[in-house]
Amino acid sequence: MPNKPAILLILALTALGFGAAAWIKYGKAQQPPPALTLAQIFRMDPKGKIEEPCPPDALTFFVIGQSHAANSMLPLTSAEDNPEVLNYFRGKCYRLSDPILGPADFRGSLWPTFAQALYPHVNKPVVIMSYALNGTSAQEWLPGEEGVGLMERALADARRYTQAGGTIEYIIYDQGQRDAMDLTPKKIYTQHLKTIFDHLQNEIPGDQTFLMYGQSWCTAYNPPAPYIIEAQQEFAASRPDTVMVMNMDELDDSHRHDDCHFNGKGRAIIAQKLVEAVLKKEGKD
């Protein structure tokens, strides 16, 4: 099993959005950053957050994946004016504001914009629970994977939530760019997706709808990988419980603040597409 310094070095790299395998950008060696602690990588401190009771009847979204599902966007946003739009983390609910509790990074996210846009249409509270880590491959989300144990970390919170009476209706999987960088073969990538989705389906009580995106590139790190998009689209089409929300690769750098992560313009498009997908599933489109 990897020793702790090695694990922290890997996490430090992924926290910067490109993972341990991204020391080379278009063939140019990158200087590895210093090791970080878990608390420096994941947003875990609720200081400054407004706690609210967790509602028993919320529409809840469980989120895993890479940086686009974490706190990587700009600018920061907030939905703190709405006590029914919430962020669940470690047994408690907080009004939703960036950076949200649970995932990596310390900038803005998709989630306040998405939840605020969805809320008026569903007539119930909206709860977001995200555990995304920048630069992660599908393999790093496999159950039993060594290191930080990303899947188990996320599922531990899901169990807390459901054991307290909450229901998780939607699982969002937002990942792919790292596997494009790593040139993961299509067959292996698809196998990883199946293992991840089947495991979540078995571990989280009830029936969930899976929402996923096509994504394979950031111009800061790698060119598009159409075979990854094809694998994602084919996988989603093969499962009646899975919806492909959109292809993020279609959003060029005018939608991104650092040639990779989304700005307000890109975030607005993604949030709207996600709202539309949820409302279609809820029969309210």
Pairing of strands 209-214, 51-52: unpaired
CA separation for the pair 80, 115 (Å, rounded)? 11
3-state secondary structure of 25: strand
Percent of the chain with pLDDT over 90: 82
CA separation for the pair 137, 134 (Å, rounded)? 9
Return the domain boundaries, the chain. 4-282
Six token digits for residue 282: 């809820």
pLDDT in tens, 56-87: 999 999 999 999 999 999 999 999 999 999 99
Whole-model pTM above 0.75?
A: yes
Confidence (pLDDT) at 284: 73
Confidence (pLDDT) at 285: 62
For residues 157 and 129, the answer to whether their CB atoms sit within 8 Å is yes
Q: Which residues of the chain have pLDDT under 50?
A: 1-30
Q: What is the DSSP letter of 185?
A: -
The amino acid present at 44, given as its one-letter code, is M
Cα angle vertex 138, ends 153, 21, to 5°? 100
Q: What is the DSSP letter of 164?
A: T
Query: Is CATH 3.40.50.1110 the classification given to domain 4-282?
Result: yes
Confidence (pLDDT) at 36: 64
Measured in whole angstroms, the distance separating CA 39 from the mean position of its chain's CA atoms is 18
Distances (CA, A) of 150 to 103, 120, 134, 167: 10, 33, 12, 21
Six token digits for residue 62: 């469980």
Confidence (pLDDT) at 19: 41
